[in-house]
Amino acid sequence: MTTRIYFATNILGEVAEKDLQKALDNFNLGTLIHYRRTAEGVMGQTLHIHTSQGEYILKGNPLYKGQLQEERFFVEQLAEHITIPVPIPYLIHQETELLGWSYAIMPELPGQHLHDPALQATLSSDEEQQIARMLAHTLAELHLWKVANAGEYDPVAERIVPFAGTYSDWLYGTIDYWLQDATQYSRITNEDIDWVDEQLSEARSAFESMSVYSFVMGDYKSENLVMEKQQKAPYEWQISGLFDFTTSYFGDGTADLTKITAMYLRDHKPELAQSFLCTYRQLICADDVKRCQHFAERLRVHLLYQRILVWGEAKATQQVTWDADLPFATWAQQYIDSVIALLD
């Protein structure tokens, strides 16, 4: 389902050209010219395909039953709800005889990734600020798609299924699951657990004040979007494509702020993280003091969730890049406080 986290992947393996041509023939997409693995396909599920009719992305070997159908649902719905380009039509071939797994083919969206070194080398400070604000506006537009109940799309039932209990019950349960998982690979003390419980308790009222729930992309980051610069005044950068909705659901849109923020801080650009966060907050809270307070309280929890995942993965793979002796609570609070301070 959308809200599961997958650290293992189903890579495509070797695919014969003749079989790719047959896959294209199923949708009358022209003659294969060449193909390659996508540079950003970290799950190993995608190929870039160039045919006589255009550029396409093939996504195959689903991580779970219904992955492709689930992503198609979000793509088709987003095409109706937002102006941001998404890969439509999203064509699915469910039979597995040809390639050994079902697959989807969609148009490749034009543009560059923000983290592309070639692009980074050309951007001025003003352009970087404009892009940070634009990324916030994009999220605010995505989050205009709202539903009555928090939940995820069930490809078998072909509908959005509410989470069991309240949204905060589901979120807090998920956070607790991954915190417990981290104890397998690292030292998580009772003091750490008490600190996490305190953070969650302090924010619960902010979550329970929510009356409607937004679309949450779940993986809003540079790798899953491309940009182009407008060819006429005001010559600003804009999103030219948004893709990969495998982890999308309905809940608190604030969750989508964490990965772009982490990217900017990792790149030692806190001023861009600040522009991104403050622009988004202004768009959704305006000058409503209570809404701004609840926004910050919920953001702290989503940042905590992100820190738990980062900590657990780094400890499990022995790729810790910080002082390994720091207790989890100290390490996480330092990061969370540094982000929240950007809102002042």
The answer to whether domain 117-343 has CATH 3.90.1200.10 is: yes
Q: Tell me: cis bond preceding 234? Omega within 30 of 0 counts.
A: yes
User: With 70 as the cut, is the pLDDT of residue 13 above it?
Assistant: no
Three-state SS across 148-215?
CCCEEEECCCCEEEECCCCHHHHHHHHHHHHHHHHCCCCCCCHHHHHHHHHHHHHHHHHHHCCCCEEE
For 53, other C-beta atoms within 10 Å of its C-beta total 13
pLDDT digits (tens, 9 = 90+) for 182-210: 999 999 999 999 999 999 999 999 999 99
According to the model, what pLDDT value does residue 11 have?
60
Q: Give the relative orientation of helices 289-317 and 258-266 as an angle to the nearest 10 degrees.
A: 60
Q: Per-domain residue ranges for the chain?
A: 17-107, 117-343
Report how far apart, in Å, the C-alpha atoms of 46 and of each of 223, 245, 313, 318 are. Answer: 13, 14, 24, 28
Q: Which of 202, 303, 205 is nearest to 254 (CA)?
A: 303
**CA atoms of 155 and 139, how far apart (whole Å):** 25
User: With 50 as the cut, is the pLDDT of residue 116 above it?
Assistant: yes
User: With 90 as the cut, is the pLDDT of residue 4 above it?
Assistant: no
Rg (CA), the chain: 21
Average pLDDT over residues 256-265: 98
For the ranges 45-49, 118-122, 191-195, 320-324, the lowest mean pLDDT is seen at 45-49
Q: In this structure, what token pair is assigned to residue 334? A: 């330092």
According to the model, what pLDDT value does residue 235 have?
86
Q: Which of 280, 278, 263 is nearest to 120 (CA)?
A: 263
**Looking at domain 17-107, what is its CATH homologous superfamily?**
Phosphorylase Kinase; domain 1 (3.30.200.20)
User: With 60 as the cut, is the pLDDT of residue 6 above it?
Assistant: no
pLDDT digits (tens, 9 = 90+) for 129-142: 999 999 999 999 99
According to the model, what pLDDT value does residue 7 have?
46
- Compute the mean pLDDT over every residue in the chain, rounded to the nearest whole number: 94
Average pLDDT over residues 54-68: 92
Average pLDDT over residues 10-20: 79
Percentage of the chain surpassing pLDDT 70? 95
